[in-house]
Chain A
Amino acid sequence: EVQLVESGGGLVKPGGSLRLSCAASGFTFSSYSMNWVRQAPGKGLEWVSSISSSSSYIYYADSVKGRFTISRDNAKNSLYLQMNSLRAEDTAVYYCARERIQQRGAFDIWGQGTMVTVSS
């Protein structure tokens, strides 16, 4: 079964750090670009970051640039998001999502999400 499972969310104070992980299974992880997408409570979806299959290309939304770092370990079938200098507005459910190989930019597999709460 194709699956993505996120972990690492929790409660953190403003200015703090958190590292999210996403474990992939059931497909050839190293062949796919991967992404993080977030959803603030009661709000819509916001793309956060993207990393190509070999980590050669990395992109960030302006809202997180300079604070978040995406990475991956293809040997461990894992995706990561290091989040520093967290703000209240970063509070959201964070999803990892697989990007289609054709029709790049469409996300065909999503994890169940992990909640990040930034509050004092």
Chain B
Amino acid sequence: EIVMTQSPATLSVSPGERATLSCRASQSVSSNLAWYQQKPGQAPRLLIYGASTRATGIPARFSGSGSGTEFTLTISSLQSEDFAVYYCQQYNNWPPGGTFGQGTKVEIK
């Protein structure tokens, strides 16, 4: 099983600042990687797929990069609505199911 490791576990950022979240795969997943945002009490929302393609309706301040085993989600200027937990997910060996990272919580500094 491919293990996804996200860092840091918690990121404290001030509104308007840049946030950089990392995700590492235990083996190459090519570009078969997605990022999701989850706010308390809500379902996850797809932000990025194919490592760098924004999903429909996602603001341009969200960007994804990387391939192979190292990936990054960047939020260029944090807005109040961006404070949430972010998960990466690999789906390189799909089907069957892909695996999620443990999440990074982005909190207000």
Interface string of B55-86 (1 = CB under 8 A from A): 11000000000000000000000000000000
Q: With A95-B44, A110-B44 in contact, is A104–B34 under 8 Å at CB?
A: no
Tally of contact residues, A, Cβ under 8 A? 25
User: Which chain A residues in 43-102 approach chain B with CB under 8 Å?
Assistant: 44-50, 57, 59-61, 95, 100
Closest chain B residue, CB of each to CB of A48: B97
Closest chain A residue, CB of each to CB of B46: A108
Docked-complex contact A100 and B94, CB < 8 angstroms: no
| Chain B interfacial positions (CB closer than 8 Å to A) | 32, 34, 36, 42-46, 49-50, 53, 55-56, 87, 89, 91, 94-103
The complex places the Cα of A60 from the Cα of B96 at a distance, in Å, of 7
Total A-B Cβ pairs within 8 A: 72
| Chain A interfacial positions (CB closer than 8 Å to B) | 35, 37, 44-50, 57, 59-61, 95, 100, 103-108, 110-113
Closest chain A residue, CB of each to CB of B53: A103
Closest chain A residue, CB of each to CB of B103: A44
Docked-complex contact A113 and B43, CB < 8 angstroms: yes
Question: A120 → chain B, closest Cβ, in Å?
Answer: 27
Docked-complex contact A44 and B87, CB < 8 angstroms: yes
